[in-house]
Amino acid sequence: MAQTDARTHARTDSSHALEIALLRLDAELPPPAYAHPGDAGADLLTAVDVTLAPGERCLVPTGVAIALPEGFVALVHPRSGLAARHGLSIVNTPGTVDAGYRGEIKVLLINLDPADTIRLRRGDRIAQLVIQRVERARFVEVEALPESVRGAGGYGSTGGFSRG
Ligand SMILES: O=c1ccn([C@H]2C[C@H](O)[C@@H](COP(=O)(O)OP(=O)(O)OP(=O)(O)O)O2)c(=O)[nH]1
Ligand SMILES: [Mg+2]
């Protein structure tokens, strides 16, 4: 049975999956899908053939638009297999799809391989969409921040590689 979250108005179906309105801008392309039960990311497809020379980037259309409920974000992550095998990544990883965005989801692919060209065909799975709840903050200006154990240490303050 479908349930509605009183705070976010987000609807979940009987398997507790969040219902998200999806518009297919390309009728012949299958919608994003989870490859296995329990997967965090639903695979996004490229709607066009793409050729990426080494170091080249390209904003690639996926043929879908969504309407996220308020209080959610969709993050566009690279696929690890394509990254490991071909050096295919995303320039702005993870890409942020705002709840109010109604345009086509696009993926800013980049070929990080130093030598090989990457050729993608329309319908190839190029990225994965991870849906998460997200908080909205109210930034409250103060004179001093509360103390913490870490303090201002960062950017390697705890050390880096240990080399024999
Ligand atoms: O990988 C991505 C990243 C963003 N977007 C879309 C949805 C998002 O809501 C919108 C704006 O993204 P973002 O806020 O990251 O970009 P911006 O450069 O700040 O643009 P804007 O000024 O429109 O917010 O672009 C995508 O389709 N794919
Ligand atoms: Mg923005």
What tokens were used for 60? 């690639």
Ligand 1 nearest atom to the CA of residue 95, by list position: 1
Distance CA 111, CA 51 (A): 9
Q: How far is CA 145 from CA 15, 138, 142, 155, in A?
A: 43, 15, 7, 19
Ligand 1, atom 3, lies closest to the CA of 95
> Which residues lie closer than 8 Å to 41 by C-beta, 6 or more apart?
34, 77, 128, 129, 130
What pLDDT does 1 receive?
64
79 annotated as ligand-binding: yes
What tokens were used for 155? 């950017």
> Which residues lie closer than 8 Å to 18 by C-beta, 6 or more apart?
10, 11, 12, 69, 72, 131
pLDDT, tens digit, for every residue of 51-83? 999 999 999 999 999 999 999 999 999 999 999
39 annotated as ligand-binding: no
For residue 24, what are the β-bridge partners? 64
* 88 contacts 56 by C-beta, under 8 angstroms: no
Pocket around ligand 1 at a 6 A CB cut-off: 76, 92, 95-98, 101, 105-108
What pLDDT does 8 receive?
65
**Ligand 2 mean position to 153 CA, how many Å?**
29
Distance CA 95, CA 129 (A): 9
**Which residue from 4, 108, 123, 118 is spatially nearest to 63, judged by alpha carbons?**
123
Q: Kindly provide the ipTM of the predicted complex, given to two decimals.
A: 0.99
- In the predicted model, residues of the chain with pLDDT beneath 50 are none
